[in-house]
Amino acid sequence: MASGQRHERAAAITLGVGIAAIALSMGIAPPDAPQSKGIMWGIDALRVGIAGGLVLGWLFGPDLDADGITKDEARWKRVPLLGPLLYIAMVWLWLPYAVLMPHRSPISHGCIVGAVIRMAYLCGIVYAICCLAKVPPPNPTPLTLLGILAGWIIQDAVHILLDHRR
């Protein structure tokens, strides 16, 4: 089982390599890709989604179900100025998830299932905040959502592989 520090390093490397690969590929687009005013289509929506999923997988990893403070939660403390406030919000927002999910269960540490559950949980939080703030919730394209899920699954796969490495 890998240490929290090793998980943190692997997730950061996965994020960096993934974002770099996406950035390098941004100049590559099919010549017949539709152009629209402010709306991303096709491959660009997927790329942006994957980048977002890599970030979300880094921020909200499988160990949010662990008892105690995880590296995912502690990371928020290091944010300049707002760190302590973000940290408290992070712990409280994810507390129901941590209580309901047994640590390292197939549900939370299942590569696809865990990412889908955390993505749905986060969508619920975002929706609730939007309702309270009386603002419309985000409305991403299906390809962007697919990309987010793919990026999140990549981060989870790295985490789970480290957990099973001897």
Residue 87 has pLDDT above 70, yes or no: yes
- Convert the pLDDT of each residue in 99-153 to its tens digit: 888 877 888 878 899 899 999 999 999 999 999 999 999 988 888 899 999 999 9
d(CA 26, CA 20): 10
Cα 18 from chain centroid (whole Å): 13
Q: Where are the domains of the chain?
A: 4-26+39-164
Higher-confidence residue: 143 or 35? 143
Cα separation of 87 and 45, whole Å?
30
Neighbours of 43 (CB within 10 A): 16
